[in-house]
Structure 1
Amino acid sequence: MRGSTHLFSGLAAASLLGTDLPGLGMAALGALLPDIDHPDSLISREITPGAPLGRIGRGLIGLAILGAWYQTRLPLLLTVGITFVALAFLPHRGITHSLLGLVLAWLAVKALGWPQAPFLIGYGIHLAEDLLTPSGIPLLYPWQERMRVPLIQTGGIIDRALGLTAMVIFLIAAWRYVPVLLH
């Protein structure tokens, strides 16, 4: 699935469940995070634009962030630093596209004290959508067998229609936030 489809599907689901504004941010993070292991994904392009040397660059960025954590002891820096170092070694649609990845990401979100339910909604929607592609996902990682129900081609008409529908649902459901944002 395309990054925009994941993003709007996660946002639509969370907004329909009455998530507040910070929760919507967490739903967006959860919906995009599984693809952080792919250098051309929406989240990777936004977080590490032009990272030198691809995976090696991510590892170096992670080490720099861990150095900042060592100086400040901010838990967020530790979590992000470890993540970036790990990304230097992880293949796309590996652990981040599994139930184990979901649990590990949820534990990090919980440890940081961030909203958990919307994050889990976004992450779960991402996994469900990628399960519907021919590539499938290793849902029971470390078992490498990919599970799939090949109904949707990434970038195909159904993917685009799903993304557009989710965007419209999100915009309608999020309309209630307009007065809050204007004040």
Structure 2
Amino acid sequence: MLGRTHMAIGALGAVAAYPIIEHVRWDAVENILHSASAGMSHTIASEATIVLSAVVASVMPDLDQPNSMMAHRVERIGQVTVIAVLLAFVFLMHLSGSLTAWTFVIALGWLSSTPGNAARLAGLGVIGVVIIALGIHHDMTPNAAVVLTIWVIGAMFTHHRTFTHSLLGLVLFAMGVNLGLKELSHLHLVLVSDGLILGYALHLAADAVAGGVPLLWPVKHRQGIRLVRTGSMTDHLIGGIATLVFLGFAVL
């Protein structure tokens, strides 16, 4: 399915799952604004957190695809990092007055901005390095850093709809975010973990009816049906309906 369809399904799924996760009913924006309750801000923050987390994770399994929406976002991380390193090199080596150095920066900056798998790999590589650094400095539990790094490596070097679309990928992702965020409950990030796992799982469920997913990967056989073709009218229709239903629950 298209990235926007996955995002709409993730948002709607978050609304549906919120009462189960938090054991309170979903409050629409209209009800919240007319409420004098002292917990109004907490309700808004909680609902926004789980929706945004689910939306982000709803496209994360497609990081294994060079042309996916999420892959393009990660490419930007790689591009910005490359340019930042090049600029730092120029100034640290006192080459700011060198035409050759600036030509080198411009050339490599342009190459890094071209779409393709190299930029995606660079972006994922940066994410992996950041996760490792967080683990080394104990800003994230070492177990979480290891698990998430394995997931990132899997997303970098496996084909589309293989590792990241399997139960193994889901379990590693869920373990990583749960271990990484559970100790940050004082920052109210527990709902982030719930939203991320929910969005990821909904992506696999959606793709199961759009050609199937290899849940038992590395076994290549896919489980599911081809009920929806990516980019088809049905795909757009599902995304549109999910968006409208989400807005209906969220706003009214």
Pairwise same-fold verdict (TM > 0.5): yes
Instruction: Please identify, of 75-84 and 95-104, the stretch whose mean Cα deviation from structure 2 is larger.
Output: 75-84
Identity %: 29
Indicate if the aligned counterparts of 1:62 and 1:82 stay in contact, CA closer than 8 A. Answer: no
Alignment counterpart, residue 230 of structure 2, candidates 154, 161, 165: 154
Number of equivalenced pairs: 175
- Shift of the 41–56 alpha-carbon distance from structure 1 to 2, 3 Å rule, reads closer
- Shift of the 141–163 alpha-carbon distance from structure 1 to 2, 3 Å rule, reads same
- Shift of the 75–21 alpha-carbon distance from structure 1 to 2, 3 Å rule, reads same
Distance in 2 (CA, whole Å) between partners of 1:64 and 1:122 is 24
Indicate if the aligned counterparts of 1:133 and 1:153 stay in contact, CA closer than 8 A. Answer: yes
Gaps of 5+ in 1: 177-183
Q: Match of 1:88, SS?
A: helix
Q: Which residue pairs with 2:67 in the alignment?
A: 40
Distance in 2 (CA, whole Å) between partners of 1:48 and 1:35 is 13
Q: CA RMSD in A?
A: 2.6
Distance in 2 (CA, whole Å) between partners of 1:60 and 1:18 is 33
Q: Which residue pairs with 2:18 in the alignment?
A: 18
For residues 62-103 of structure 1, the C-alpha deviation after alignment (integer angstroms, 9 at most, x for no partner) is: 454256436633228936655444433121111111112111
Deviation (angstroms), 1:55:
5.2
Instruction: Please identify, of 123-132 and 109-118, the stretch whose mean Cα deviation from structure 2 is larger.
Output: 109-118
- Shift of the 10–66 alpha-carbon distance from structure 1 to 2, 3 Å rule, reads closer
Deviation (angstroms), 1:47:
2.9
Matches within 5 A, 1:1-183: 1-18=1-18, 20-49=47-76, 51=78, 52=112, 53-54=118-119, 56-58=121-123, 60-62=125-127, 64-65=129-130, 68-69=133-134, 72-75=137-140, 78=145, 82-111=150-179, 112-113=181-182, 114-115=190-191, 116-134=193-211, 136-175=212-251
Instruction: Please identify, of 79-88 and 166-175, the stretch whose mean Cα deviation from structure 2 is larger.
Output: 79-88
Indicate if the aligned counterparts of 2:155 and 2:164 stay in contact, CA closer than 8 A. Answer: no
Distance in 1 (CA, whole Å) between partners of 2:198 and 2:125 is 31
Q: Which amino acid aligns with 1:92?
A: H
Distance in 1 (CA, whole Å) between partners of 2:216 and 2:161 is 12
Indicate if the aligned counterparts of 2:77 and 2:123 stay in contact, CA closer than 8 A. Answer: no
Normalised to the residue count of structure 2, the TM-score between the two structures is: 0.60
- Shift of the 63–75 alpha-carbon distance from structure 1 to 2, 3 Å rule, reads same
Indicate if the aligned counterparts of 2:75 and 2:122 stay in contact, CA closer than 8 A. Answer: no
Gaps of 5+ in 2: 20-46, 79-111, 113-117, 183-189
For residues 99-155 of structure 1, the C-alpha deviation after alignment (integer angstroms, 9 at most, x for no partner) is: 121111111121122334433332222111111123x21011121111231110000
Structure in which a larger fraction of residues adopt helix: 2
Instruction: Please identify, of 60-69 and 138-147, the stretch whose mean Cα deviation from structure 2 is larger.
Output: 60-69
